[in-house]
């Protein structure tokens, strides 16, 4: 396993690169841990007084809590969009990685060297307080950090089309997981990082996922990295169909009116040496799936994947809703069978977002935290508003071929839909069985910033949430 010998420590406000590409962090508190007297958090949440009152009642009853994790210290500064958080737990420590960029789809002409996809925060008290964010790029050598440019390879079409379109790491988005021996591994736009001390120090694997060691397409990965008994660490992702226009940042429209053509494939990259090197296998899929940012759960030796479905067949014009795709294998590896699930959100492809699936040890069901950017859910509890909803299915029924998920409840809703506000992406949630809760990490704010990371901590007793009024 990788070592982290003789790392240098950073000061309270600065980061120092240690010899050998190992970085270490200190842990002063970063943000006010509650919503009380926190005007920036209130601005980013953009919730009604009624919704905030409901959340406060849920907190008092021990059912539901919403609190900040990582907020931009200078809300009007350049890289003020903190988003796409994914988390894991190692021992008693929660670890979350998120972005630090100018914006989602607006304000993209602005960028500088602080633009990062690997800002890490950690909590040792169950999410009550969090460290200041620190940038894992500090664990990279200068040569690796600027390979092809300061913007990662997969995002140069958006932020830096003048930078090299060939050099860099062939990964987009973040996946995170904790290994059976307690290591934490992050696969990201900047490559692969590992910590063996619950996120205190980190090592970058220089050649892992790099373009000269990784044949094939740039992989757009789901948020969960899991451990397979035969294949080791596994990330699952999709790829895009590459054209000359795509390489130049001029994406051809797909049949649903979007800008990226998703390939009819599912990719599996796996590492048998703790993250240092990777191999890949893939499965061709029926065209109705077209998986986007697939979320994988390896449970009881079996594998289930749920993803956005980018095929026109996933959209029902009569109800103006779209469904997610479901894939599964009772042998825990591909090939997987595929269906459209009954998980449904309002709007076309762009209103789907990356979800999370986990096995709930209390309900004994697989539960999905589903973002609805324009309202959603069976009965659409908050039509026209951005909401976060819970769905569930019995695992025996799922692996027997059922794709009939049950709508449980909405955890919260915001005043306005996607476009005026930005947010969610609850992938990479954490089940803390000891505390009887699930931590769901989301981002909320505005497309060109500011935006911040929040945690939604909810009881694992889903029936009590379902009965909670509001």
> What pLDDT is recorded for position 398?
98
Separation CA 41–CA 443 (nearest Å): 11
171-172 vs 219-221, strand pairing mode = parallel
Separation CA 139–CA 201 (nearest Å): 9
Kind and range of the H or E run holding 466: helix 462-467
**pLDDT tens sequence across 372-422:** 988 776 667 777 789 999 999 999 999 999 999 999 999 999 988 878 899
Separation CA 93–CA 156 (nearest Å): 34
CA-based nearest residue to 458, from 360, 334, 325, 377:
360
**pLDDT tens sequence across 168-200:** 999 999 999 999 999 999 999 999 999 999 999
> What pLDDT is recorded for position 375?
78
- Token code pair at residue 281: 């296998």
Q: Is 209 exposed, middle or buried (0-12, 13-18, 19+ CB in 10 A)?
A: buried
Residues of the chain with pLDDT under 50: 1-20, 251-259
127 phi and psi angles, rounded to 5 deg? 95, 5
CA-based nearest residue to 148, from 91, 196, 210, 83:
210
Separation CA 146–CA 335 (nearest Å): 38
Place of tokens 């809300």: 75
User: pTM for this structure?
Assistant: 0.92
> In b/e form, how buried is each residue of 392-420, taking b as 16+ CB within 10 angstroms?
bbbbeebbeebbebbbbbbbbbbeebbee
- Token code pair at residue 383: 């039509």
Separation CA 332–CA 228 (nearest Å): 8
Separation CA 211–CA 156 (nearest Å): 15
Place of tokens 């998920």: 405
> Three-state SS for 383?
coil
Give the N- to C-terminal CA distance of the chain in Å, as an integer. 49
Separation CA 322–CA 320 (nearest Å): 7
Which residues lie across from 445 on neighbouring strands? 422, 451
> What pLDDT is recorded for position 360?
98
Q: DSSP code of 154?
A: G
How far are the Cα atoms of 97, 176, 230, 290 from residue 271, in angstroms, in the given order?
A: 21, 14, 10, 25
> What pLDDT is recorded for position 256?
40
């Amino acid at each position: 396993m990788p070592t982290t010998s003789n790392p240098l420590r950073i000061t309270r406000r600065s980061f120092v690169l240690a010899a050998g590409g190992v970085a270490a962090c200190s842990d002063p508190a970063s943000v006010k841990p509650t919503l009380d007297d926190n005007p920036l958090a209130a601005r980013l949440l953009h919730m009604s007084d009624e919704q905030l009152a409901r959340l406060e009642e849920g907190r008092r009853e021990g059912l539901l809590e919403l609190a900040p994790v990582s907020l931009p210290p200078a809300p009007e500064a350049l890289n003020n969009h903190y988003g796409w958080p994914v988390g894991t737990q190692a021992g008693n420590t929660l670890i979350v990685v998120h972005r630090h960029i100018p914006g989602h789809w607006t304000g993209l002409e602005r960028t500088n060297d602080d633009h990062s996809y690997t800002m890490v925060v950690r909590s040792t008290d169950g999410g009550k307080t969090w460290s200041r964010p620190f940038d894992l790029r500090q664990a990279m050598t200068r040569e690796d950090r600027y390979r092809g440019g300061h913007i990662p390879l997969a995002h140069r079409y958006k932020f830096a089309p003048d930078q090299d379109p060939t050099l860099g790491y062939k990964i987009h988005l973040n996946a995170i997981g904790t290994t059976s021996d307690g290591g934490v591994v992050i696969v990201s736009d900047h490559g692969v990082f590992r910590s063996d001390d619950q996120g205190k120090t980190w090592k970058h694997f220089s050649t892992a996922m790099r373009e000269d060691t990784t044949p094939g397409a740039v992989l757009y990965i789901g948020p969960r990295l899991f451990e397979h008994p035969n294949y080791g660490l596994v990330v699952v992702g999709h790829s895009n169909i590459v054209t000359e226009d795509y390489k130049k940042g001029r994406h051809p429209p797909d049949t649903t009116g979007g800008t990226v053509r998703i390939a009819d494939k599912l990719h599996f990259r796996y590492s048998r040496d703790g993250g240092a090197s990777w191999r890949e296998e893939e499965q061709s899929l029926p065209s109705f799936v077209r998986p986007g940012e697939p979320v994988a759960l390896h449970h009881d030796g079996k594998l289930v994947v749920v993803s956005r479905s980018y095929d026109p067949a996933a959209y029902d014009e009569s109800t103006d809703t779209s469904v997610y795709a479901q894939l599964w294998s009772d042998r825990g590896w591909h090939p997987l069978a595929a269906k459209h699930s009954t998980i449904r959100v309002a709007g076309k492809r762009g209103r789907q977002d990356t979800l999370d699936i986990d096995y709930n040890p209390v309900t004994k069901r697989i539960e999905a935290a589903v973002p609805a950017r324009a309202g959603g859910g069976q009965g659409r509890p908050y039509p026209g508003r951005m909401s976060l909803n819970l769905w569930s299915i019995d695992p025996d029924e799922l692996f027997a071929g059922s794709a009939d998920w049950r709508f449980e409840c909405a955890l919260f809703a915001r005043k306005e839909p996607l476009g005026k506000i930005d947010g969610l992406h609850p992938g990479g949630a954490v089940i803390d069985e000891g505390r009887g809760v699930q931590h769901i990490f989301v981002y909320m704010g505005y497309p060109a910033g500011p935006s911040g990371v929040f945690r939604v901590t909810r009881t694992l007793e889903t029936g009590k949430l379902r009965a909670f009024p509001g």
